[in-house]
Structure 1
Amino acid sequence: MFDFSAGWISLKDRTLIQVTGSDALHFLQGQLTFDLLTLGPDNFGWAAHCSPKGKVLFTTLVVKTGETFLLDAPMGMSELILSRLRPFILRSKVRIEEAHPHFSALGLMGQDLEEVAKSAGLNPLPAVGRQDEQSGVRRLRLSPDRLLIIAPPQRLAELSVPLDLSSQFWELGNVREGIAEVIPLTTDRYIPQWLNWDRIGGISFRKGCYTGQEIVARTHYLGKVKRRALHIALDSAVSVGTSILHGGEVTGEVFSCIKNEQGKYEGLAIIAGEESSNLVTEEATPQALRILPLPYALSD
């Protein structure tokens, strides 16, 4: 998936929120699309928090460590997440705060990931889609070529690993794995299914109520998903939100755009209908989009 040797990435600028208290599980269960009752010590989940109209306000990776729930999200999302969740606390025994004083994160991604992890004393690694804790270091295997590590800052410093890669490569990993993470520019614009959140296990259609559930469930049970996130390739950078045309008509927009290891650009685009060819950007000099494969199917 990646044409470079595995390297370490500092993820200290990503948003990391911790939710604690005796009511934390019940509280988050009513706020996120993922079923937290399925969360245990050896797995993690992708989740979204929606508006009452079913639009995604933020996305997050959720992991449980002891009685604490950690929410990992892109840089710049901390204030939005706190402002959205805290008003719902009311009398619940829940505390929601930034986790960075207590936890920080590192990423490892690329070819020969297992060997590089071994050199840092972190082997054997958990299986893909699983997580574990080793000597105070929580290790989440996001894919065969990507590992997320969360631990107290002092424990991460003790690993003494070289930070070889910039954080943009972590974003590139999300693009290639089809993880459409919402950032401030893209909040409150898409329902979870348009971001393929149902295809990565990020929506439970069996759990109890959560904010926005009615719209999300209606889309699932009563209608076809009219838009999907597709993996795109471009020759040059394009702004998030740029319209995408098919036959001169707007059929979608750019969701993300990241420079890859070849110096070209890749991203995700939200595209309507079945269109996947003859797509161009709406710019002064339009670019033709190439559709690249995703690691999962968009339909059953």
Structure 2
Amino acid sequence: MAKLTIAPLESRSVLVLNGKDVWTFLQNLITNDMKKVSDTQGIYAALLTAQGKFLHDFFILKSGDSYLLDCAAARKDDLIRRLTLYKLRADVTISEETRQVYALFGDGSHAAAELPEKLGTVSENNGLIYFADPRHLALGIRLYSKSVDNTAINLATAIPATESAYDTYRSSLGIPEGGRDILPEKNFLLEGNFEELNGVSFSKGCYVGQELTARTKHRGKVKKRLFRIEFDGELQEGDKIFDQGREIAEVRSFADGQGLALVRLEGLAGDSDKFEPKGVKLIQPDYVNLPAIN
């Protein structure tokens, strides 16, 4: 486990949804179950196309009478546009709130935030929200502050770092970033390990894209998965990985010797020593229950 570290996530934005219809509005759209959201619990979820392709992922938590969506800043305008299209005459208002998002990760992150080691737990105090990342315990805590000065966060023992340090840590766990590792309108949800990362409910009933997602799950038709990459060399987004001339994976992200790739599961029992580029390793994330390929 890494040392306790705090990093501002400049790539994130926070949307605020208000109105008497927000709960039902989101319940009918997103992949996860809004019944799990309360003043003390939040979720990870996605918005899909009607054909079950990934569009956006985000975190949802409740603060007072409002619902907060922690989403990718670079794609927030598209998310707002799509939510607005579905809103119709529902009593829902969507706005952006000035909040700095932080990641607190490494050894003792839950204890430092005075939260139990339980996925998705939330506490709020004096405008500062602590949210245990609902995807994986090792990801630690997400924090939301209305101040851009992190001295407002009383975590004197945490080492300050940049967002790239958090990205490297997340990547080392094999956990994808939506919009980069999971491509909008191209990937199916379960290819991005969404089930194992607690981002989809198979019991909540209908939502946009639900039929194909459920069919894929119950028929066992997931043919590709995101795996970790380790490589002592250079790789770029979109690079292909081959096994004796046959394409078996596509690089989605890579930095500092590691990253993620979308891997074709069929026929991955081959000898990794024969992968090209030579020396590249494809590693099944620990949280994914599939046969190892090495």
**TM-score, shorter chain, exceeding 0.5:** yes
Secondary structure at the counterpart of residue 174 of structure 1: helix
Q: What code does the residue aligned with 1:132 have?
A: S
> 2:275 and 2:206 mapped to 1: Cα distance?
40
Shift of 1:292: 3.7
Deviations 1:186-231 (A, max 9, x none): 2221111000101122111111221111111110122331111112
> 1:6 and 1:57 mapped to 2: Cα distance?
33
Shift of 1:66: 2.1
Shift of 1:159: 2.9
> 1:240 and 1:30 mapped to 2: Cα distance?
34
Secondary structure at the counterpart of residue 77 of structure 1: helix
**2:204 matches 1:233:** no
> 1:95 and 1:158 mapped to 2: Cα distance?
29
CA contact (8 A) 2:100 2:148 kept: no
Q: Residue 266 of structure 1 corresponds to which residue in structure 2?
A: 258
CA contact (8 A) 1:243 1:250 kept: yes
> 1:223 and 1:13 mapped to 2: Cα distance?
34
Q: Residue 115 of structure 2 corresponds to which residue in structure 1?
A: 125
**2:160 matches 1:164:** yes
Q: Residue 26 of structure 2 corresponds to which residue in structure 1?
A: 28
Q: What code does the residue aligned with 1:107 have?
A: A
> 1:177 and 1:272 mapped to 2: Cα distance?
20
> 1:111 and 1:184 mapped to 2: Cα distance?
27
Task: Pick which of 5-14 and 272-281 moved more.
Answer: 272-281
**2:10 matches 1:18:** no
Q: Residue 206 of structure 2 corresponds to which residue in structure 1?
A: 209
* CA separation of 1:163 and 1:206: change in aligned 2, threshold 3 A: same
CA contact (8 A) 2:110 2:116 kept: no
Unaligned 5+ segments in structure 1 are: 260-264
* CA separation of 1:299 and 1:78: change in aligned 2, threshold 3 A: same
Q: What code does the residue aligned with 1:66 have?
A: G
- Please, what is the CA RMSD of the aligned residues? 2.6
Q: Residue 147 of structure 2 corresponds to which residue in structure 1?
A: 153
Shift of 1:145: 5.7
Unaligned 5+ segments in structure 2 are: none
> 1:108 and 1:133 mapped to 2: Cα distance?
15
* CA separation of 1:236 and 1:224: change in aligned 2, threshold 3 A: same
CA contact (8 A) 2:105 2:139 kept: yes
CA contact (8 A) 1:136 1:155 kept: no
Q: Residue 262 of structure 1 corresponds to which residue in structure 2?
A: none
Scaled by the length of structure 1, the TM-score of the pair is: 0.83
> 2:238 and 2:225 mapped to 1: Cα distance?
15
Secondary structure at the counterpart of residue 74 of structure 2: coil
Secondary structure at the counterpart of residue 44 of structure 2: strand
Alignment of 1:78-117 (within 5 A): 78-99=76-97, 101=98, 103-113=99-109, 117=112
> 2:279 and 2:106 mapped to 1: Cα distance?
28
> 1:179 and 1:153 mapped to 2: Cα distance?
28
> 2:180 and 2:250 mapped to 1: Cα distance?
16
> 1:38 and 1:253 mapped to 2: Cα distance?
35
CA contact (8 A) 2:230 2:280 kept: yes
Aligned length: 281
CA contact (8 A) 1:131 1:138 kept: yes
Deviations 1:107-141 (A, max 9, x none): 222335468x3xxxx5x233231222233321122
Shift of 1:47: 0.8
Scaled by the length of structure 2, the TM-score of the pair is: 0.85
> 1:76 and 1:84 mapped to 2: Cα distance?
15
